[in-house]
Chain A
């Protein structure tokens, strides 16, 4: 081969290597393992599994990679993670609930661990907690509770026979369902609301959970509850045989009721126990993460997805508007993060 030929071959070889290098680079950029601060990796959003439909929509509509995880598990992992991340973190932000983000921040401060989250955003969207009750059962509870079906009153009859409070013998026990407080933000909020409403205030302390009256009431309720991430869906599909009462969010209830048959919609009553408590969705950026992600999640893409999932972004309830949907309270009316952690500890004790 001539010298010119060799040069030509070398150039072709070099071009070929460059050609191969680009796809490899692209693979590296896409695999999410690169922690370099300057790479142009797609932003990675760690997403509470309960918000999966919101995050799926973000992934479809915006340039975001989604990783779903049970919010309870994420809260626990982030609260105790000790290994340092060099450069850009694995995730750029966390779409979660305000109390879960607060629990992580507080736990890390308490354990003298460096912060890994920046201060979370203000609430991007909110949804009140509500009780879904079959109307025939609600009529019995109305009479039993003196016309005001409160969380405290329902808790007082949890697990007892419907017949004993004026219901029919064939209805069996008063069966309640809600999400698992250990695994989900919704479940944690539900037990927070229960405690706040039993005690009569949302500013609680650990001492409140040591009161005998509270412990007796709380253990009666929670031992009668079936933990079920899809409690409202099962309420609709199995009917009153499975649950008489389910505590869930307005977002979940309205989204699923919109698709339910008319007879099911008309057979259910939705009640917002006073004072109304809400779950607030926030975006918590990871320190060193891609700052563009906040604009996507808290901006129009994020709020549109949350609205479609039944959350309130402004003050108006979602469509179809539930009967008696109240305005949102100024604050969530849930106990603060530290108190919820203590309550979760109490919950573990009474249900084991």
Chain B
């Protein structure tokens, strides 16, 4: 008798059973299988709601075991970067996802191309199920679109981008009061809209609608075209919601044309904006108020790209078979008709053709359900990666003052395990963020704390004057690393003076900005006039003749004055960032630098 097989079978059975026990222990925290989803921001609320519905349904059972859906917000590009690196440090970056749902499948190509370049196995070998769609559009305040011939004249990327390059700006279209043409687009490293717009921009530069090649990207005239378009950009950023919020605030202040003339966004965002809910999220007690001037969607005549919102079940080592089964059940659930009707209510186009496109995708909302009539071809993964790399070379360069709070409270312990202080973590994040700048960017370093300088002004100290990163990168790093905590927090003074300096030295060819990291409230009896500061900032950011300097504050730690910092950001049509948990400061710094 051959005993090998039975013994092997017993061992195998024990191993299998052991594996099942082990897997189910891991996967069934709380008794349920947990499906973690990394979702792009614009559908976070919708996916969370569909997850809740799913958990209540009979479909949320895998061999009798319940399923829990947990949705975390990750911009498409940030999630791609994490997956490229096998999703390190889940404690900081969030749980490793079973499902990745970027805005568009395009990101799967970028991810697997970059993993292949690094000699790694793909995580998305098969395309995910696309459960809803939304095309990239160019959103414009209606009167501005009408000045270009909307709705009778078909408009395209080439028309918009030509205007972006026209030094006469809106004056050439009979509207000098609107000033220069200002274009809003997001950073293609992070955002699908930004990536899609950048692809469309390269197509427009080549006159092609398909077969974009790496050789096309490298052609001098294509580079020159892209550089000129980028010069009209207001600033970048990790999400289009920043633009829409700023546009909305400008509109409510009675200045609907001062911030941006056109923004590359998804169609769904136009629905949200015109409903009076520009970021698509209603905070408790928040009531939507329609904008004075609505946006209309331009469906580019050359074609556009769709965000197809795939649910990609990752072929990653941390995804168990049961989690994958549960993820498949959820993927099927969201395509059911009743859930697809909910998708439509949220402003997306249903992926299931059983549900017709209808309200809110209507002309009354500035949209055209019969558009788009054609699409641009999604480039091959190597070309996609090339588009992003090339954009790094041509994007509008930045002129940035990094202003770091070195008040006494920055010496508080932030990580009990290592004893690192808040300042220690901030220093590491700031040094890491330096890598995000291009050599042609200009960056300076200022620190602030009460009486930090013996000479006037005494509340801040310039450690590195603003200069080319190629020249002062090493000095910036050395100075950041040597920072130590000192006294109080003269927040308003340093904000106003830093802003004034950038204004005095304004460089129209660059994004002019101040990044302020602060962990506390203004502690300066000599200057505690917040309203005066805000009035000062707003006065220089409204109307057509502005020299826009943006202030991007980072509220750092639990004691930071988040609401004040938010108001400062809003006064300059920028965005405030929150790193209330100091452990997140690296990611937050990266998001801030995505604006440049």
Q: Which residues of A contact B (CB under 8 A)?
A: 21, 24, 27-28, 168-173, 175, 226, 233, 236-238, 240-242, 256, 259-264
Contact = CB atoms under 8 A, between A and B. Distances in A.
Given A172-B209, A172-B303, A256 B353 contact: yes
Interface string B1-22: 0000110011011000000000
A198 B405 CA distance: 74
B209 A261 contact: no
Nearest to A263: B356
B318 to A, nearest CB: 25
B10 A24 contact: yes
Contacts of A21: 6
B353 A175 contact: no
Nearest to B130: A237
The secondary-structure label for the interface of chain B is loop
B404 to A, nearest CB: 48
A171 B374 contact: yes
A150 B135 CA distance: 32
A173 B210 contact: yes
6 contacts: A21-B6, A24-B6, A172-B373, A237-B350, A241-B135, A241-B306
Given A237-B351, A237-B352, A27 B375 contact: no
A233 B133 CA distance: 13
A171 B301 CA distance: 8
Given A237-B133, A264-B353, A170 B209 contact: no
A30 to B, nearest CB: 11
B354 A259 contact: yes
Interface in B131-156: 133, 135, 154
Interface in B392-431: none
Contacts of A242: 306, 375
Contacts of A236: 353
Contact of B374 (A233, A241, A259, A264): A241
A262 B355 CA distance: 9
B200 to A, nearest CB: 13
Nearest to A172: B374
Contact of B353 (A24, A241, A259): A259
A262 B133 CA distance: 19
Contacts of A175: 374-375
B353 A172 contact: no
B302 interface: yes
A198 B301 CA distance: 33
Contacts of B351: 237
B13 A27 contact: yes
B543 interface: no
A238 B375 contact: yes
Contacts of A172: 209, 302-303, 373-375
Contact of A24 (B13, B154, B375): B13
Given A28-B5, A170-B374, A238-B375, 18 more contacts: A24-B10, A27-B13, A169-B301, A171-B373, A172-B209, A175-B374, A237-B133, A237-B351, A241-B303, A241-B374, A241-B375, A242-B306, A242-B375, A259-B353, A259-B354, A260-B354, A261-B353, A261-B356
- Which of A21, A24, A241: most chain B CB closer than 10 A? A241
Contacts of A262: 356
A51 B374 CA distance: 31
B9 A169 contact: no
Interface in B326-369: 349-356
A173 B356 CA distance: 25
Interface in B82-107: none
B372 interface: yes
Interface string B366-391: 00000111110100000000000000
A27 B353 contact: no
Contacts of B135: 241
B156 to A, nearest CB: 9
Given A169-B154, A261-B353, A238 B306 contact: yes
A241 B373 contact: yes
B359 to A, nearest CB: 14
Nearest to B129: A230
A171 B375 CA distance: 9
B355 A261 contact: yes
Contacts of B377: 226
